[in-house]
């Protein structure tokens, strides 16, 4: 008796009779035992059949729709931020406008702490309409925003509520309905984030220019209202699918429940997801910056993002299906090992030297990193029961808030190449020529002062020896590539019938005239930068900046060269001024600097050299090219042409007669006639004034 008290004190008390265990078994009717066993079997069968029900897959479709409106829009924030920087908020810097999207992302994740608990208690029937209403009203209010604080409150605060509710609801519903096919269902739903990243930028880029900001936002509100309304309807089978499950009594209070952190397995899994997301957002966000730092163009960065998004969409679907077969933790570990191999074998040794290998790594990284969006919720689901999945997932996703806020500013402050205007204001330069800030403020976009210091170093050489100092550079590998590109550029130009065949005549002239050589190298480098597909990235690092540097060298060398008495008799000086103007025409759409080169550069050299010196082939071809470009300048600017002051004599047979020549001659005669009329009128007015 004492032993029975010590072993089971709660079953036997002092003075109580010992129960008859043998008779207790016969006191229960067999029918009741069989009935309870049958009910348990029916519940287990019903639980297994949920994943084959059409209503469950309708809920998956609804989750995909809500992820399009939440995470899909998060992937498109760059389009909104770029438009606001150039238009509604053009008086603010890029970093200041970036606080709007940063606030939106931060609050979208921090609001998840309580949404998951509400979803576990009441399901998506309440949270779905709330998320739809918040998301739709956000864009209707954005259409009326005009001030900086309007956008902070509307998008940063109000919009984050709808995105947070919609995202947690979409992921939580799948975790509560699916166990055996959770990876496949999660992969289908998470594809909505990629679809949103495609739909919103394409729609906004097409509507901003035609409809403006207000109606573009109203159109987005209409699209989101339709998508989320359909999602709310598809969530209707959720109650029928979950009402047969035996769950604990639902508490009626909305107090914050942090009991999930008592589970060691959940805490370790959440920390692992946090580190995985840090690497994921870090490399994915810094890929364009890494590409620009390696010497690739801005278009290469956009191409990398497109490849990343397309391959990520495939990875989310396929690896989610594999996770159901081998387990989410096994799939996650295998994926990370594969990524480690890709980083060590492709990204680290070759990402800054080879464009094809950079594209290859981006595709492989996108495919593997896309699986993190699917495997992270699956790993979280292994640490809890289905009825508590939303609450556990909200805490796991809240850890990503730290990684996104840590990684984001590093990307925004990565300033490898800034123009002089952006460096002077100490703001981020968006890249390109001209950059967005210089276009908005109507300033000349020039490279940073580092280029100037390199020019000063070159100018330390003695001026009379600058030709011989530049002579050995002809054998330099990048310079020879740029010269080859320049000769290919000549073959494609059709200024005159003989212009494409000037390559053989040009080579001796380039070797003898240093300013002309730098001008040809500048055009060749600029042509390569405009065609990234023809670039040999292991030899050429930054063709665009090299072209600007060569252009500056050509101007500096030309200033010294024209001081010598033999400059006017050098054919290279005339061609140099012509090519410098052509460079300005290629780099600047407006052509303002090109017109100045034509008026004050080439025309003055022609005037000083005289007409008799144009009897040779190259000078006559240079005049014919100048003649064509000057005629176009007169038409574009509506000004008188200076062609009436010059004629090409001595070799008339070099000029091929065609309709274009007749039109140009007619324009020259009209310009000369108008100039003579203006001169006569001025002379008559002057004589009248003298008589008075």
Give tens-digit pLDDT for 176-197: 888 778 778 888 888 888 788 7
Sign of the Cα pseudo-torsion (562, 566, 568, 573, in order): negative
Whether omega before 574 lies within 30 degrees of 0, making that bond cis, reads no
By the 8 A CB rule, do 510 and 618 touch? no
Confidence check: pLDDT of 1 > 50: no
Q: Is 676 exposed, middle or buried (0-12, 13-18, 19+ CB in 10 A)?
A: exposed
Question: Over the stretch 571-621, which tens digit does the pLDDT of each residue have?
Answer: 777 777 777 777 877 776 555 666 666 656 666 666 666 544 444 666 666
Confidence check: pLDDT of 228 > 50: yes
Q: Of the spans 9-13, 139-143, 270-274, 526-530, which averages the highest pLDDT?
A: 139-143
Model pLDDT, residue 23: 40
Q: Which residues of 335-358 are buried (b: 16+ CB within 10 A; e: fewer)?
A: bbeebeebbeebbeebbbebbebb
- The token pair at 670 is 């009209």
Q: Whole-angstrom Cα distance, residue 165 to residue 136? A: 13
55 vs 42: which has the higher pLDDT: 55
Model pLDDT, residue 270: 76
Q: Count of alpha carbons within 13 Å of 404, Cβ hemisphere only?
A: 17
Confidence check: pLDDT of 205 > 60: yes
Question: Over the stretch 442-484, which tens digit does the pLDDT of each residue have?
Answer: 677 766 544 333 333 333 333 333 333 333 333 444 566 777 7
Question: What is the DSSP secondary structure assignment for residue 18, as one 8-state letter?
Answer: P
Q: Which residues of 120-151 are buried (b: 16+ CB within 10 A; e: fewer)?
A: bbebbeebbebbbebbbbbbbbbbebeebebb
Mean of the per-residue pLDDT values of the chain: 68
Strand partners, 447: 419
What are the residue boundaries of the structural domains of the chain, listed by start? 48-243, 259-414, 450-691
Kindly state which CATH superfamily the domain 259-414 is placed in.
MFS general substrate transporter like domains (1.20.1250.20)
Angle between helices 571-587 and 617-637 (to 10 degrees): 30
Which of these, 70, 57, 45, 11, lies nearest to 235 by C-alpha position?
Answer: 57
Model pLDDT, residue 494: 62
**Phi/psi at 447 (nearest 5 deg)?**
-65, 170
Q: Whole-angstrom Cα distance, residue 605 to residue 638? A: 23
Model pLDDT, residue 133: 92
Q: Do domains 48-243 and 259-414 have the same CATH topology?
A: yes
- The class (CATH top level) of 48-243 is mainly alpha
């Amino acid at each position: 008796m004492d032993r029975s008290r010590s072993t089971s004190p709660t079953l036997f008390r002092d003075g109580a009779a010992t129960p008859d265990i043998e008779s207790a078994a016969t006191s229960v009717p067999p029918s009741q035992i069989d009935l309870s066993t049958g009910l348990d079997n029916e519940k287990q069968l019903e639980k297994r059949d949920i994943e084959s029900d059409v209503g469950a897959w309708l809920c998956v479709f609804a989750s995909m729709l809500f992820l399009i409106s939440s995470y899909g829009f998060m992937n498109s924030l760059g389009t909104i931020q770029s438009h606001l920087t150039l238009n509604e908020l053009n008086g603010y810097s890029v970093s200041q406008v970036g606080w709007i999207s940063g606030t939106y992302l931060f609050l979208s994740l921090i609001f998840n702490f309580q949404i998951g608990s509400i979803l576990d208690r009441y399901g998506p029937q309440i949270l779905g309409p709330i998320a739809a209403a918040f998301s739709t009203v956000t864009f209707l209010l954005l259409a009326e925003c005009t001030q900086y604080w309007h956008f902070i409150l509307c998008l940063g605060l109000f919009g984050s509520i709808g995105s947070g509710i919609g995202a947690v609801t979409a992921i939580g519903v799948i975790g509560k309905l699916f166990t055996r096919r959770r990876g496949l269902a999660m992969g289908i739903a998470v594809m909505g984030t990629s679809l949103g990243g495609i739909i919103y930028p394409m729609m906004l880029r097409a509507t901003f220019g035609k409809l403006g900001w207000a109606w573009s936002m109203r159109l987005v509100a209409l699209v989101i209202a339709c998508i989320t309304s359909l999602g709310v309807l598809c969530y209707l089978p959720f109650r029928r699918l979950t009402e047969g499950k035996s769950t604990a009594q639902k508490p009626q209070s909305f107090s914050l429940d942090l009991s999930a952190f008592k589970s060691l397995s959940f805490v370790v899994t959440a920390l692992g997801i946090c580190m995985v997301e840090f690497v994921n957002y870090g490399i994915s966000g810094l890929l364009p910056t890494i590409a620009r730092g390696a010497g690739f163009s801005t278009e290469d960065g956009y191409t990398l993002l497109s490849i990343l998004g397309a391959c990520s969409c495939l990875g989310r679907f396929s690896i989610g299906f594999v996770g159901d077969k081998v387990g989410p933790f096994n799939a996650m570990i295998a994926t990370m090992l594969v990524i480690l191999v890709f980083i060590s074998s492709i990204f680290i040794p070759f990402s800054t030297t080879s464009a094809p290998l950079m594209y290859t790594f981006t595709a492989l990284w996108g495919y593997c990193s896309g699986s993190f969006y699917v495997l992270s919720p699956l790993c979280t689901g292994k640490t809890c029961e289905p009825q508590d999945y939303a609450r556990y997932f909200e805490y796991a996703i809240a850890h990503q808030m730290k990684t996104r806020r840590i990684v984001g500013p590093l990307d925004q402050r990565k300033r490898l190449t800034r123009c002089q205007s952006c460096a002077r204001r100490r703001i981020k330069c968006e890249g390109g020529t001209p950059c967005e800030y210089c276009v908005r403020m109507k300033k000349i976009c020039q490279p940073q002062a580092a280029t100037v210091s390199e020019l000063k170093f070159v100018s330390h050489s003695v001026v009379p020896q600058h030709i011989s100092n530049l002579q050995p550079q002809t054998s330099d590998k990048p310079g020879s590539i740029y010269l080859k590109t320049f000769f290919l550029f000549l073959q494609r130009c059709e200024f005159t019938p003989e212009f494409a065949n000037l390559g053989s005549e040009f080579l001796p002239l380039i070797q003898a005239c240093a300013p002309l050589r730098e001008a040809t190298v500048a055009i060749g480098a600029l042509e390569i930068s405009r065609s990234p597909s023809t670039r040999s990235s292991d030899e050429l690092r930054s063709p665009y900046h090299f072209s600007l540097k060569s252009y500056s060298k050509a101007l500096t060398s030309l200033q010294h060269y024209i001081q010598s008495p033999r400059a006017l008799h050098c054919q290279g000086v005339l061609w140099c001024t012509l090519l410098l103007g052509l460079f300005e025409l290629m780099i600047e759409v407006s052509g303002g600097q090109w017109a100045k080169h034509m008026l004050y550069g080439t025309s003055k050299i022609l005037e000083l050299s005289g007409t008799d010196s144009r009897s040779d082939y190259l000078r006559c071809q240079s005049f014919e090219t100048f003649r064509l470009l000057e005629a176009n300048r007169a038409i574009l600017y509506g000004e008188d042409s200076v062609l009436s002051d010059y004629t090409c004599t001595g070799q008339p047979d070099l000029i091929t007669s065609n309709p274009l020549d007749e039109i140009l001659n007619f324009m020259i005669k009209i310009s000369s006639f108008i100039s003579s009329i203006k001169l006569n009128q001025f002379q008559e007015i002057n004589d009248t004034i003298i008589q008075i």
